[in-house]
Amino acid sequence: MSPVAKIKETLLEHIVLTALGVIGLLLLVIWRSVDPAVWVKILNAVPKQVLWAWLGLASIVAVLEGAYIFHLQRQATPKLLLHLGVLWDKKHNLYCPKDETPLFQSGRSGNVVGRGVEVFKCPKCDNQYTFKNDDGSLIYYKDAKEKFSWR
């Protein structure tokens, strides 16, 4: 993940936590500013079953909201697996094993134009990657992709 993406993620996390803190503080201010006699009247006027139902609904909404946020967070960061020297995601995109930056095809190896295996390069660290078979021979991206199985 790039430093800019990490900063954005941290900033978003701090903004959400700050907003939740402000909401909690405002609810506390409302609670403290209302005369306790009003709360007693509300409690006496509303049946206990209704209050428990509201509390249950609020708890369910809070749990579902947390689960949804967790789900979105997992979708935002792809799971990567190391295969043939580079990181792969489920969609067969390639990432640098050092800094998890997406790789791009910078050309082909070999002397003849249009021949040779693909060379992938990291824009961040300038490392170049090719795919090698078990016996050490170079293989094409499509062959490496066929060998890749998501576990």
Map out the domains of the chain as residue ranges: 3-76, 81-147
Q: What is the pLDDT along the chain (151 residues), one digit of tens a residue?
A: 567 778 888 888 889 889 999 999 999 998 889 888 888 888 888 888 988 899 999 999 999 999 998 888 877 777 888 888 888 888 888 888 888 888 888 777 665 455 667 888 888 888 888 888 778 788 888 888 887 765 5
Specify whether the CB–CB gap between 124 and 130 falls below 8 A.
Answer: no
pTM greater than 0.85: no
Q: How distant is the alpha carbon of residue 151 from its chain centre? A: 19
Rounded CA-CA distance 52/140 in Å is 63
Rounded CA-CA distance 79/95 in Å is 11
**Chain position carrying tokens 């900033």:** 11
> Nearest 5°: CA angle at 19, between 14 and 21?
95
